[in-house]
Amino acid sequence: MLATDVMHCRNVLHNSITAIEGNKKSAVNKARFKTVVLNILVLMVILSSFPANAAEDKFLFDTPAQRESFLTLTAELRCPMCQNQNIADSDAMIAHDMRRKVYALLKQGKTEQEIIDFMKSRYGNFVHYQPPVTAATLWLWAGPVLFIFIALLVVVRRKSVAPPEDMAAKLAKADEMLEREKE
């Protein structure tokens, strides 16, 4: 696919150059100028699509499942250098190397979990975007639940407490005073 792209590119480039040369000789030729512009545009589009092709062509997979695993893993693993990017996004050298390693391990037939453990044994829990439940991280899950539970308790207790009786009497008195003032 890459080869045909290159061939096409060369043809287009050739056409553009001959068109430009033709332009020099003849007077202003609108139609030719248009084809040149068009050709250059096509060329730019093709050239801009090259990096994407190159990145995909670098890793060839045996099965679609393997490719799928590669994509999930590179999205789930975190780059230790550019800390808020996964290794699929990051352009740091370490991310390049980790992608290479993930690919190599997949080729060896390692499962996703094995690869995650491999990276964790080198870069710690930090490297995986899914934190494990430990004593320190338990609060991430327990915290919100605990908060809701306590809030519910408070609300329920508040409601069950009836206003004191003398309050009712006071209210009646206040109403009476208001009535009196109205008159």
Partner 1 sequence: MKKAPLVAIPLVLFSLLVIFLFKGLFSDPRELDSQVQDKTLPAFSLPDLMQPDVTYTPDDLKGKVTILNVWGVWCVTCAVEMPYLTQLKNEQNVHIVGLYFDQDLDPDFGTKTLSRVQQEVTDMLSRYGNPYAYNIFDVYRDTSLDLGVTGAPEHFVIDAEGIIRMHHIGDINERVWNSKVGPLYKKLVAEASGNDVKERKVDVEAVMSSNINAQEGE
What gap in Å lies between CA 139 and CA 160, rounded to an integer? 30
Q: Which is nearer to partner 1, 67 or 120 (CB)?
A: 120
Rounded-to-integer distance, Cα 80 and Cα 94, Å? 8
Which CB sits closer to partner 1, 113 or 121?
A: 121
3-class secondary structure, 77: strand
Using the rule CB under 8 A, which residue among 94, 107, 110, 128 binds partner 1?
Answer: 94
* R_g of the chain computed on alpha carbons: 35
Binding map of partner 1 across residues 41-80, x = CB under 8 A, - = no contact: -----------------x---------------------x
Question: CA 34 to CA 51: how far, in whole Å?
Answer: 28
Question: Residue 119 CB, nearest distance to partner 1 (Å)?
Answer: 9
Backbone angles phi, psi at 131, to 5 degrees: -70, 140
DSSP symbol at 78: B
144-173 in b/e form (b: 16+ CB < 10 A) is eeeeeeeeeeeeeeeeeeeeeeeeeeeeee
Residue with tokens 């050709």: 39
Query: Binding to partner 1 by residue 83, rule CB under 8 A?
Result: yes
The answer to the question of residue 123 lying near partner 1 (CB under 8 A) is yes
What binding mask, one character per residue, do residues 95-114 give for partner 1 by CB under 8 A, x or -?
--xx-xx-------------
| Cβ-based nearer residue to partner 1, 100 or 173 | 100
Binding map of partner 1 across residues 2-41, x = CB under 8 A, - = no contact:
----------------------------------------
Per CB under 8 A, residues contacting partner 1 are: 58, 80-81, 83, 92-94, 97-98, 100-101, 120-124, 126
